[in-house]
Structure 1
Amino acid sequence: MLTIPSLRAKECMPKEKDALNVLFALMPLMNIILPFVWKSFAFIFTADVIMLVAVYYWKGAFMEVYGIPFAAPGSMAPKSAPAPKSQE
């Protein structure tokens, strides 16, 4: 939980920064709620790692940061380029 703010402090690519912003909001919430379900460090740590991978997948940060083509459908959609002008 404490690594998310330090990761946000470094220079990031835009998709990674967006993913870290979401994690910054969700991770503390999950770490407060999960001990009511099960008080196991291994369970909570595993849930944190799963959430980190899921948010990076959802935001498409793996391709942008690490070059791994692992992203949710539509998250890696190329930005639409303007239509070429016809020269008549």
Structure 2
Amino acid sequence: TVALGAEAHLPFTETGVTGIVRGAILPGVSVNGLGHPDLAIALASGMEYRRGRASAAVLYSLERYRFAPSATATVERREQLAGLVVSVGWSLKR
């Protein structure tokens, strides 16, 4: 998937916790059996903790898709996916 967006890290505490907010437009989305959506966006927000080279994050992620009416579907179709994303990382450099 191709995405065009931005991400912001906001200091939450002085102990390595930051807030994360991200948003993106997904111009390259395709779905089997349907045309390309006329609107596809991805949003996420959550918290990240960093200590030394280690990091852990928990994000709530949301994706929304809107498909315009077509010859095979006479009504507008909307889809939404949401989930909790948990990630753990280790940086090779400081």
Between structures 1 and 2, the one with greater strand share: 2
Normalising to structure 2: TM-score of the pair?
0.25
Between structures 1 and 2, the one with greater helix share: 1
